[in-house]
Amino acid sequence: MQPPVADALRQGPFPHALRTAIKARKLSLERLHQRLAAAGTPVGMSTLSSWQSGRRRPERPESLEAVTVLEDILGLPARSLSDLLGAPRRRGPRPRMTRPPRPVADLLALASPAVALTRQLDWREDRLRIVSAWDDVEVGRGSCVVGVETRLVLEAVEEVDRYVATFHGAPGTGLSGAVRFAALADCHIGRVRQDPTHPLIAAELLLGRRLPPGETAIIRFGVTDGSGRRETEYGRFLSAAAQHVAVSVHFAPDARPRRCWRFVRDLQGWPDQLHKEVRLGPFGKVHVVRNSVPPGILGIAWQP
């Protein structure tokens, strides 16, 4: 077994392990679909795609049987994929999502500096979870992201009185003095820290009171960027599942792109799991909206 496959099976999660095993065997989804059908456990290609992207998971008895057959087709040890699924989810009303966040190192290229920066503020991202996120992005002349306004619905996992937001600039750009956080509603700006060697800034957003576990808060804040850095995409990073995420990008009249597309990625720098062209609206806006969003990156990309 190839080391990447062994590591994926050991660490999970299921979508990553399945995707890694499929890639190692150099099998297309169509070929997997054909072999599963020949084994008497048919699975649609769209379902296979959803399994490996994390948008859906095998839960029905016939789906779990197909996972067992997949293990054989992919040359994997018995139950190596099945055990990553854990217990089946309950049907009916959704329980609150209590799984721990995915490590930032699984998502971002600048994970280590980001973690070090937030630790300066004594912050752990598992203290709060994002229930919903709305990002409104302004793109100005030269394809520069000049501002982002964010509204978050947060739920306390443990007693907490703040949230820490991180702004990631483009590699090779300086953000010192160019980036400003502003509290717009139901929060206040606390301490702000910047990494001296990477384009990263973290800011405390103080909630004004301590939230007990299970209580929610809604905050709104903005980030302005005067660094003049050229961008071709904006993504919302999620370390834990969220109920609702929306990203809207507004292009100034002199910044209209030639084309735009929505994307979903498991990790920063990885290929798009979703890549869907979208037309610019009459007001110069495009957006992506998703419900029941798994950990990963969701956003809008464009060609200037």
- Is there a single domain that holds both residue 291 and residue 154? yes
* Structural domain includes residue 275: yes
> Which range marks the domain in which residue 175 is found?
104-303
More confident residue, 208 or 50: 208
- Is there a single domain that holds both residue 152 and residue 213? yes
* Structural domain includes residue 12: yes
- Is there a single domain that holds both residue 163 and residue 294? yes
* Structural domain includes residue 50: yes
Residue 120 has pLDDT above 70, yes or no: yes
- Is there a single domain that holds both residue 132 and residue 58? no
The DSSP secondary-structure symbol of 62 reads: H
- Is there a single domain that holds both residue 172 and residue 255? yes
- Is there a single domain that holds both residue 182 and residue 289? yes
pLDDT given at position 234: 93
Element (H, E) at 82: helix 82-85
pLDDT digits over 88-98, tens only?
554 444 434 44
- Is there a single domain that holds both residue 140 and residue 221? yes
Domains in the chain, number: 2
* Structural domain includes residue 78: yes
Q: Where are the beta strands (DSSP E) in the chain?
A: 128-140, 144-156, 160-168, 179-185, 188-194, 200-211, 216-225, 233-238, 242-251, 259-265, 274-278, 285-293, 296-303
- CATH number of the domain within which 159 lies: 2.60.40
The CA distances from residue 9 to 77, 108, 171, 235, in Å, are: 10, 21, 32, 28
Taking each helix axis from N to C end, the angle separating 14-25 and 45-53, rounded to the nearest 10 degrees, works out to: 120
Cβ partners under 8 Å of residue 163, min gap 6: 128, 152, 154, 187, 204, 205, 207, 219
pLDDT digits over 39-57, tens only?
888 888 888 988 888 778 8
Residue with tokens 């979870």: 129
Q: Which of 189, 191, 129 is nearest to 160 (CA)?
A: 129
- Is there a single domain that holds both residue 113 and residue 37? no
Q: How far is CA 212 from the centre of its chain?
A: 26
- Is there a single domain that holds both residue 270 and residue 137? yes
Residue 59 has pLDDT above 70, yes or no: yes
Model confidence at 112, pLDDT cuts 50, 70, 90, reads low
- Is there a single domain that holds both residue 13 and residue 137? no
